[in-house]
Amino acid sequence: MRIDIAKDVLEHNDALAQENRRRFAEAGVFVVDLMASPGAGKTTTILATIEALRDRYRIAVIEGDIASRVDAEKIAEHGIPAVQINTGGACHLESAMIRRAIDQLDLDELDLVIVENVGNLVCPTEFDLGEHAKVMILSVPEGHDKPYKYPGIFEISQAVILNKYDTRSVFDFDEEEFRSVVGRLNPRAPIFPMSAKTGEGVDAWVAWLTERIEAAKEGGSRDA
C-alpha cells in the first residue's frame, strides 16, 4: 500500500525553529547565526561586534562547539551572558539545541543574540535555528576559491564577512574573483571585508547589524 506523505524531512527541526523565531519576535530580540570554518575568526568577530555595540544594546551569545567551554568562557570574561552548547560530536546546531539554550537566557532583557555555530562550511546550511539572519565568515587565508567548493553556505547567507582582511597582502587572495563568484551564488548578500582583530572595516558590518536590531526592536514593541 502506498501512502503519500509530502513532508519536509526536517519538519520537526523547522517547527521548533519557528517556535524559537516566535519567542524572539515577542521579545523584540534580533538573532544572528554566525557560520564559518574552524579558525576563521568567529569568536574574535563576536568580541569585536560586542565591543562596538555593548553601549547601545543588551547582548548575549550562544556558543556551539562539539566539546569544551572555551569560547563561552572567553565571552563571559567580557561580562556578556554566554550559553555553551556542546553538540557531543554533531557537526551543526539544531533548533532544539537553541530552544534549550534560550531557556537559560532572559530574552526580554536582550536586544541581540549572537549564535556561534559549529565550525563547518557544510552541515549548518540545512538547519533553520529560528534566527533572523545567517551570516558566514570567510577568512582571507582560507582562499578565494572556497565559494566554488562550499557553494551552499554562500547561497543561504544574508551577508558574508571577509575576515582577516589585514592579511591580504601575505596571501594570494583574489578579491575580484571572490566577489564575482559570491555575486553569482548570492547577488543580494553584501560582503564586508574587515579585520575583527584590528577593527578595520568592522563599522560597515556593525551598521548592517544595527539596522536589523532596530527593526527587530520595533517589531517587538509593536507586538507588545
User: At 156, phi and psi to the nearest 5?
Assistant: -95, 0
Which of 31, 17, 33, 30 lies closest to 136 in space, CA to CA? 33
10 binds other proteins, rule: CB under 8 A:
yes
Query: Least distance from C-beta 3 to other proteins, angstroms?
Result: 5
Binding other proteins (rule: CB under 8 A), the pick from 79, 188, 222, 224 is 188
List the beta bridge partners of residue 172. none
Rounded to an integer, what distance in angstroms lies between the CA atom of residue 38 and that of residue 85?
16
Rounded to an integer, what distance in angstroms lies between the CA atom of residue 146 and that of residue 142?
7
Binding other proteins (rule: CB under 8 A), the pick from 57, 127, 165, 173 is 127
151 binds other proteins, rule: CB under 8 A:
yes
Contact region for other proteins (CB under 8 A) — 63-71, 86-94, 170-178, 214-222? Answer: 86-94
List the beta bridge partners of residue 139. 163
In the structure grid, which three cell numbers stand for residue 136, read together?
558566514
Is the Cβ of residue 103 or residue 126 nearer to other proteins in the bound state? Answer: 126
Is the Cβ of residue 79 or residue 187 nearer to other proteins in the bound state? Answer: 187
Largest CA distance in the chain: 64
Sites of contact with other proteins (CB under 8 A): 1-13, 90-92, 94, 122-123, 125-127, 148, 151-152, 155, 181, 183-185, 187-188
